Amino acid sequence: MSGEIANFLGENRALVLLIAFLGDALVGGRRGLAWLPGPDGLIASIVGLFSGRLDRISRDSSTRMVRGTAVALILAAIGFFAGWAIERWAAASAPGALVIVVLIGLVIGQRYALDTTLELARRLARDRNPSEAGHYGVARWCVERMANRFADGMIANSLFFLAFGLGGLFAYRVLANLVARGAPKGVLMPESPYYRWPARLYRWITLPAGATSALAVWLAGLAVPGRPFRERRLAYGRGGFAPETIPLRLWTVRAFAETLGLALKADPDNERRDRLAAEIQWVGPKDGRARADARDVRRAAYLFAISWAVTIAILGGVALMMLRP
C-alpha cells in the first residue's frame, strides 16, 4: 500500500498541487488554515538567525560573501533532505499524503495574501488625507506585494515542487527567504555581499518562473479592465535582464503595472538612481500613475485572483492529462 501511495505522489504531483491550490482557495486565509504554523515561517526564522549573526558590517566583504554562500548551501541541503524525508514518511499512509497537501497549501498561501491586501485596501479607502509617503506609497506597495506573492508564492513554488518534490520546494524556500531578507522590497538584487551568490543563483533558477508568471498575468489581463491591451508592453522587454534586477519580481511587477496603468518604484526604500538604468527606476508604462489608491489595490487584487484562477485551470488540465491511461 505504501509503495502505491509513493508512486502516486511521485507520478501525480500536478494533482497533489492542484488539490493544495483548491484547499488554499477554500479554507486558507485569515479565517482558515493560516493559523497553522507553516514551514516557510520556520525557514525564515532559521535564515534570519544565521544571517543576523553572520552578516555583520564589521566583517570584510569576502568573509561575508563566503559565509552567505555557505549558509545558503547548508540550509538548502537540510531543507531538501527534510522534504525528502517527509515525502518518504507520508508515502506510508493516506493521512500522510494529506499532510503534504496541507504543507504545500501553507507554503503557497495565496488566499492569506489576498485577504490581507483587501483589508489594507479597505483601510486606504477610509483615509481622507492621502499623501505620497502614506496613502500612495502603501497603495503601490500593495500592488507590488500582489505581484511578488503570485510570482514567488504560486508560480515558483509550484515549478520547484513539480520538478523536485517537497525537497526541492523546501530548498527553494531557503534561497527565497535569504533573498527576501537581503532585498525585502522592490525588483533589485540585495546590496550586501552576504547575499551575493545566493541572490545570483536565485536570479537564474527563477527565470522560468518569472516568464511563466508574467505570461499568466498577461493572459489574466484580458479579463481585467485597465490599460488598453494593445498598449501594454512585454514584461520581458527593455531592462528585463538588467544585471541588478531579479527578473522573477521585475517581469511580474511590470505585467501588473502595464495591465493596471500604474508606475511602481523599482526600489521603494533606497534611491539607487546612480546605479539604475533609466528604464527601471520606475516600472510600468511611461504615462503610468504613481499615485495609486484603494481602487487600484482592489483592481490589483482582482488581477491577482484571475491570474490565480488561470494557473489553477492550466494545472488542472495538466493533472487530467497525466491521469489518463
What's the rounded mean pLDDT across residues 270-280?
57
Identify the pLDDT of residue 271: 58
Q: Dump pLDDT digits (tens) for 108-159.
A: 888 888 888 888 888 888 876 666 557 788 888 889 999 999 999 999 999 9
Burial category of 216 from C-beta neighbours within 10 Å (exposed 0-12, middle 13-18, buried 19 and up): buried
Helices and strands of the chain, counted as H and E runs: 12, 2
What's the rounded mean pLDDT across residues 9-14?
70
Identify the pLDDT of residue 75: 95
The top-scoring range by mean pLDDT among 23-27, 180-184, 204-208 is 204-208
Q: What domain range includes position 271? A: 2-323
Radius of gyration of the chain (CA): 20
Left (φ > 0), alpha (ψ -120 to 50) or beta: where does 284 sit?
A: left
Identify the pLDDT of residue 227: 66
Distance of alpha carbon 106 from alpha carbon 36, whole angstroms? 8
CA distances, 38 to each of 35, 83, 97, 106, 298 (Å): 9, 13, 16, 5, 27
* pTM, entire model: 0.89
Q: Which residues pair with 264 in a beta bridge?
A: 283
Identify the pLDDT of residue 234: 66
CA distances, 150 to each of 6, 144, 154, 192 (Å): 29, 10, 5, 26
Task: Examine the pLDDT at 33 and tell me if it is beyond 80.
Answer: no
Those residues whose C-beta lies under 8 Å from the C-beta of residue 289, and which sit 6 or more positions away, are 261, 262, 263, 296
Identify the pLDDT of residue 1: 46
Task: Examine the pLDDT at 95 and tell me if it is beyond 60.
Answer: yes
Number of domains present in the structure of the chain: 1
Identify the pLDDT of residue 3: 47
Q: Is there a contact between 22 and 323 (Cβ–Cβ < 8 Å)?
A: no
